Each structure stands twice: as C-alpha cells, then as structure tokens.
Amino acid sequence: MKRSCGVYAAGIMLAMIVSCGRGKPDQPAAEIPPAPQPAAVTPIDGYEVSTVTDGGVIGGTITISGTIPKLPVRQPNKDTQVCGTATRESQKLIVNKTGGLKNAVVIVEGVRRGKAILSAAQNAQIDQKNCEYLPHVQVMPVNTEIALVNSDPILHNIQFFQGDNSLFNIAQPVQGQVNKRKLEKVGFVYVECAVHGWMQGQVVVVDNPYYAVTDENGKFSITDLPPGTYRVKIWHEYLGEKTRDVTVTGKTETALNMDLKDLLATKATVPITSTPAAAATGGDAKAAGGAEVTVQMHEVPASAGTTFRFDPENLTIKVGTTVKWINVSGEDGPRHTSTDDPEWETPQTPAILPAGAEKWRTRFLRNSESATHTFTVPGKYQYFCETHGPYGMVGTITVVP
C-alpha cells in the first residue's frame, strides 16, 4: 500500500509536538489540538481535481519507420565487481521489430481540471541498481518528491540537470541509502552519475496527470480526459519532440499514432560518434601571451578503472593567454564544468587563485561545447569540475609573466 508521505510526516511532526510540548503524559486528550486534515488537493498549483464522468481516451502507438541506427553500446569500466564488464545496449533509442518506440513520453498540455493524480505518481523513485537507473525514463507531477535509492554496495553520485542548471548533486556511498528531493519546475530533467558515466536517466515533470510513457511496443493510453481539444506533446530523449492537436469526445477513444521518422532524419545528419577535438598540447604545455590553449575534458584510463580528467591536467601559460575547455566525452558522455570559484569548492577540490585574480565558472558543458577564460594575473591556479572534481577532475594552471 502506498502512503502519502505528507500525511505521514505531518503525523510524525504532530506526534513530536504533542510528546515534546506536553508537560505531563496524562493530560486529557482534549488539550491536544486536532490533527490538521490532509488537504484533498493536488500539489499542483492551478490544477483542480474533479470527477470525470464522460471522459475519453487518447491512445495509440508511437513508431519510427525505416532504418533504425544502432547507437553505441555502453561499456562499464568502474566498480566491475558490482557493475560487471559486459557491454550494455544504449537505452536512448529502443525500437521493436515493428517500429514501436519505447520510452516516448506523451503529455496532454494545459489540462487544468480533471482526474486525480495517481498516488503511485506521487511516489516517484529512481533506483540505482546494478549500476543502472531504474526506471530509465519516468514522469512525475511537479511539487512532488522523488526518492533517490542506492541499491548497490558501492558509491553512486546522482545529479539532476534541468536545462543548463544543476538542481542537485548527491553522493550516496551506502547501500540502501535513500534521499528525497522535490522537483518544483515543470520540464525535462536529465539524470547522470558522476562516478559511472554510462548511468543516465530522464525525469519529466508535468503539471497534470494526463501523461503516459510508451511501452516496449510503442503503445500508450491516457484515460479519463474531459471532452475537449488538447495539444499533445510527444517527447523522446534522443529524437526531440512534436506536438499535435487532438479532439477528445466523451467515452470514446481517439487514436494518436505518430511516426517519428522525420525527427530521426534530422538526427541522422549528426554524427553518432563524436570526433575528439585536436589533441591538447601535452602534459605541461607552454603558450605565448595572447594565444589560446585547449584543455580537453574527457574520460582517461587511470590506475583504478577510468575516470574523467582535464587534459592536460597541468598547464603553464604566459599571462594574457586564453584557455579553452572543451568537453570531448562523446555523445553519451557526461557534462563538465571548469571553475575556480571558491563558492563551489569542496574539501577535495580547493579553489586556488593568486591574489587579485579573477575567478571563473563555466556552465555545464555538454559534449563538444566549450568555454574560455583569459588569464591576466600571474601565479598558480587550481580549478576543478563541479561534478567530477571530488573524483579527481582537478587541474592546475601556472601563469608566468
């Protein structure tokens, strides 16, 4: 049985207030303030629950016709005693023999009144199990919590991104550890493990309960929609999104079948495996003032498995040189930052700046994206990636006059 956490927590808090606040244990129960009634409303602002008596259904199949590319497999290379060494299929484009597309998200937009939010949907969970996120794609209502569970006996470090922003970044070293976080903004959230780059997931945050995720045959069904015309969005992590207007009439099913081959065609022009940028300048590069030096951000072999590094890690440049950091972790690789902002330092990653030097903080760079900083103050700098710094992604730059 699923239990409302809010009600449960309220009950505990009330019990604590009661047990802590009362002087004598045998005071009459009448002095205890009545428990606040759990509000029969949804956590979604502006969405009103009402009985839907003449609801219709939108259902169908999302497909891709034509040749389906095979995306690169994933190769576990860390914590292999738990994660294993076998390659894993990409989860980004799963299409069955008849073209059915798995894990497409179908969202009916703008519904402000209708059926209740399923209690299951208010108990969203992402389980880190066998070095994989379960489920890989899910939908949850805004202003509800998602439980982050580590079922593995190793450290996972889960990070949520919404757009270019990191929402949070939590290290979970203990098997069975659970942390909960409320997601407060509608939109698409990308989830990544800082330790195991092949662990990636998607959480879609919505503002009404009319949504579905397609099954392994590409099928979906959204029930109990009040009659009306709706804009329906079909979103897929790899292919992008499309919308279509659908008119629903009472107690009938309206078919919504869509072939996303045109979205795939736009992807086909993008190379599936990225080509790393020109090789960096070596272990201890020197560059003249006014020049630009490139530092790659990518996965490199290390003594214990592989890990993410700046390459070169240590750089000597002349004052006036611009350093360009570029993420070359591959299309399936993680996002990286470069920062020397003390606000983001950790005990493992102190930010070191010469007196009078300007700090910097790049945004989270996706694969092939880059950012620059020009060094105008001589001295020694130590900077880091906000996500992978605690796992060794730290670099130094020595700026000489």
Q: Which residues would be at the binding site for Cu ion (CB under 5 A)?
A: 308, 336, 385, 387-388, 393
* Burial tier of 296 (Cβ tally within 10 Å: 0-12, 13-18, 19+): buried
Q: How many helices (H) and strands (E) does the chain have?
A: 3, 27
**Token pair recorded at residue 71:** 């995306």
**Rounded Cα–Cα distance for residues 11 and 159 (Å):** 31
For Cu ion, give the closer residue by CB, 145 or 299.
Answer: 299
In the complex, the smallest distance separating the C-beta of residue 343 from Cu ion, rounded to whole angstroms, is 17
For Cu ion, give the closer residue by CB, 128 or 387.
Answer: 387
In the complex, the smallest distance separating the C-beta of residue 373 from Cu ion, rounded to whole angstroms, is 16
**Amino acid letter, residue 372:** T
Q: Pairing relation of β-strands 370-374 and 322-327?
A: antiparallel
Q: Which helix (H) or strand (E) holds 60?
A: strand 56-63
Query: CB–CB of 344/86 below 8 Å?
Result: no
Beta bridge partners of 105: 213, 235
Locate the DSSP E strands across 67-104. Answer: none
In the complex, the smallest distance separating the C-beta of residue 385 from Cu ion, rounded to whole angstroms, is 3
For Cu ion, give the closer residue by CB, 235 or 391.
Answer: 391
**Rounded Cα–Cα distance for residues 192 and 222 (Å):** 29
In the complex, the smallest distance separating the C-beta of residue 69 from Cu ion, rounded to whole angstroms, is 27
What order of strands is seen across the sheet that includes strand 105-109? 211-213, 105-109, 228-236, 240-248
For Cu ion, give the closer residue by CB, 136 or 388.
Answer: 388
For Cu ion, give the closer residue by CB, 192 or 237.
Answer: 192
In the complex, the smallest distance separating the C-beta of residue 134 from Cu ion, rounded to whole angstroms, is 24
In the complex, the smallest distance separating the C-beta of residue 345 from Cu ion, rounded to whole angstroms, is 15
> Of 369, 356, 362, which Cα lies nearest the Cα of 387?
362
For Cu ion, give the closer residue by CB, 196 or 388.
Answer: 388
